[in-house]
């Protein structure tokens, strides 16, 4: 009986694993902050957690939008440039959520503040 090797996508195995780990960590942090806010009935902490979640959501939108851009151009992107773009998108998302944002933080806050009061 012939066996074939397992076909594993080796293009970004470490990047995907690190990304999944980061996402899980952020989700756990958000859950912990929500639990603490509900236990302490801390309104400010809840608002802060909602803003952070909105920033995370906006950052995910930026990542997905960047994936739609076809690679190419005169000069190939280096890993350093990719890291810079990720960091820039993260900062843009934080700035956007600190302003009026997209309204997600306000909706989350209204929904979750019912549980605190």
Asked if residue 113 has pLDDT above 50, the reply is yes
Distance CA 89, CA 87 (A): 5
Asked if residue 24 has pLDDT above 70, the reply is no
3-state SS assignment for residue 65: helix
* Mean pLDDT to the nearest integer, 33-46: 77
Phi, psi of 59 (to 5 degrees): -60, -40
pTM of the entire predicted model? 0.68
Which regions of 3-52 does DSSP assign to beta strands (E)?
Answer: none
What is the reported pLDDT for 56?
Answer: 93
Distance CA 35, CA 25 (A): 15
Distance CA 8, CA 23 (A): 22
> Which among 12, 20, 17, 90 has a CA at the least distance from the CA of 54?
90
Q: For residue 23, name the pLDDT band (cuts at 50, 70, 90).
A: low
């Amino acid at each position: 009986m012939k066996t074939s090797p397992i076909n594993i996508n080796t293009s970004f195995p470490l990047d995907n694993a690190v990304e999944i780990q980061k996402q899980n960590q952020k989700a756990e942090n958000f859950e912990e902050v929500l639990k603490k806010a509900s236990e302490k009935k801390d309104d400010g902490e809840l608002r802060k957690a909602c803003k952070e979640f909105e920033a995370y959501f906006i950052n995910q939108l930026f990542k997905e939008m960047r994936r739609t851009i076809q690679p190419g151009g005169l000069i190939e992107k280096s890993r350093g440039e990719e890291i810079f773009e990720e960091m820039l998108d993260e900062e843009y998302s934080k700035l956007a959520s600190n302003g009026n944002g997209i309204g997600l933080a306000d909706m989350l806050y209204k929904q979750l503040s019912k549980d605190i009061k």
